[in-house]
Amino acid sequence: MSYRLNGGTSKALSWGPNGRRLVNAGDFVADILVADLVAGPNSVQITATDSQGSQSTTVVTVDYQPTVPALPFNVEWGGVADITQVAHVVDGEWSTSSGRLRTTAIGYDRLVALGDRSMTDYEVTVPVTVHSFSANPGPNSGDPAVGILMRWNGHNDTVTPGSQPQQGWTPDGVNDTPFGAYALYRARSSSPRLELRDHRASIKGTQGVTLQPGTTYVFKVRADANPGSGATTYSFKAWAASDPEPAGWTLQFTAGTSDDQPASGSVVLLAHEADVSFGDVTVTPVP
């Protein structure tokens, strides 16, 4: 398989399964850099060639509108006919129904991005309902999880260099850092818990808790730069939607100014080996 952007050079595509982004047989993803797009319609020609040399080609039009959403903004799934009107599906199959965004197929890191890579300090609130977790996670998946990534900038090339799509999610001093931090509910069989991790996926805080399938909880996260220092404090709390919001943060840590920390990035909803519904998303600037 291969693709061409706007009639340019043909680039090879990998196809699944590969135990990561390409979950099922025949899955493929064309990672296209925003810098390579032109404003307005872009033509992506995708070609599959079989062992006998026969080809099948499909042309997809990507309409790129380089506008940046202003904070605050809300995403109300009940009024969305097409997810791509308000968000970017990074991986997986998703649908909207009954005012919620839901995975339609369980797999490794099913991701939907919102906002813009230029966003710096913000707070995100979203209701989350777990319907089920995978009983047989993939070979690279570990425990199922659901959560939010902050300051997302896209996958990098640190796993299987040169692959299409890129697979990386941690920095190596050369490749860009994909995110600043992420907050999760990790469905560990022996000790389910909330987690807050840094850009290297190192655990910065945990709290043991069990979220009940079918019950709606509210996840709230914050990325807040400390004036003058360049450091950023990341925060996370979660509570049952039927309960009042806790006054303080459950988990929190401050990241330094070095070690490839991104200064900005978008918001990503994460369903990892899980069938999850996300309610309306509210993103507000940090005062």
Same domain, 107 and 249: yes
Please state, as a whole number, how many other Cβ atoms lie within 10 Å of the Cβ of residue 5. Answer: 19
Inform me whether the pLDDT recorded for 139 exceeds 70: yes
Find the angle CA(150)-CA(272)-CA(234) to the nearest 5 degrees.
20
pTM of the shown model: 0.95
Same domain, 78 and 169: yes
User: Looking at residue 198, what is its pLDDT?
Assistant: 95
User: Looking at residue 172, what is its pLDDT?
Assistant: 83
Cis omega (within 30 of 0) for bond into 17: yes
Same domain, 29 and 131: no
Does residue 152 sit in helix, strand or coil?
strand
User: Looking at residue 238, what is its pLDDT?
Assistant: 98
- What CATH number does the domain containing 126 carry? 2.60.120.560
User: What is the extent of the structural domain holding 12?
Assistant: 2-64
User: Looking at residue 258, what is its pLDDT?
Assistant: 67
What is the percent of the chain where pLDDT is above 70?
A: 99
Inform me whether the pLDDT recorded for 179 exceeds 70: yes
Does residue 32 sit in helix, strand or coil?
coil
Query: Looking at the 3D structure of the chain, how many domains does it have?
Result: 2
42-96 residue pLDDT tens: 999 999 999 999 999 999 999 998 888 899 999 999 999 899 989 999 999 999 9
Same domain, 113 and 58: no
